[in-house]
Amino acid sequence: MNRMMTMCGVAALLAVGVTAYPTGAPSSVCDDPFMEPTYHRDYLNATGYNNTNQYTLRSSPAEGRPGIVEVTLTGAPFKGFVVRASTPGENNEGEFIVDEDSQFHALHCSSNENAAVTHSSPEFKSSVKLLWRDNNSGNHVFQATVVPTIETYVINIFES
Ligand SMILES: *[C@@H]1O[C@H](CO)[C@@H](O)[C@H](O)[C@H]1NC(C)=O
Ligand SMILES: *[C@@H]1O[C@H](CO)[C@@H](O)[C@H](O)[C@H]1NC(C)=O
Ligand SMILES: *[C@@H]1O[C@H](CO)[C@@H](O)[C@H](O)[C@H]1NC(C)=O
């Protein structure tokens, strides 16, 4: 019985392993200062890189929408991503605006609703456009992690 259950567990793990997180990262990722995809690192032997200039993160005020910031992530085709905003002191801040048809959905970090977003499907994309609401007009930094393929991930993507 135990043996059977163990085998089922292993099979389940392998099944998950093959597809990783096709429908987005778990919310625990956005409470990690480096937003490292630990599952990929620990179970898929993925190699992590710091961003040099493979990926670009930019933000600007959304035209005609006070308090709303447009954020874009671009670069070589990638499957997965996470973007969040935090104060320089590392508290997640503000909230992303996600509609039902989006290619991404919100993550709830440290019980902050919509504090980050992640992909909803594993199709390759080379740019993502997001809207974020600044709740207190404070200092904030955007940060992204990208998973180009299952073998690699790129962390510490900041605005340049
Ligand atoms: C993990 O990846 C490294 C670097 O790509 C490789 O040298 C190593 O053989 C891999 N280990 C396993 C267990 O697949
Ligand atoms: C990223 O850079 C930091 C600081 O230089 C370093 O400590 C860390 O090991 C690097 N991480 C990766 C995945 O290369
Ligand atoms: C941000 O402001 C909106 C609108 O006032 C509010 O509903 C939301 O809870 C706030 N979010 C955070 C993270 O403070």
What CATH number does residue 43 fall under? 2.60.40
Return the ligand 1 atom nearest residue 151 CA.
5
| Sheet containing 55-61: order of strands | 55-61, 68-78, 125-133, 95-97
Q: What confidence tens digit (pLDDT) does each residue in 88-100 have?
A: 766 788 899 988 7
Gap between the Cα atoms of 126 and 118, Å rounded: 14
Which range marks the domain in which residue 37 is found?
2-158
Closest CA to 160 of 94, 73, 84: 73
* Structural domain count, the chain: 1
Residues of the chain with pLDDT under 50: 1-2, 4-18
What pLDDT score does 89 carry? 67
Ligand number with the minimum distance to the CA of 109: 3
CA 30 / ligand 1 centre spacing (Å) = 26
CB 84 within 8 A of CB 35: yes
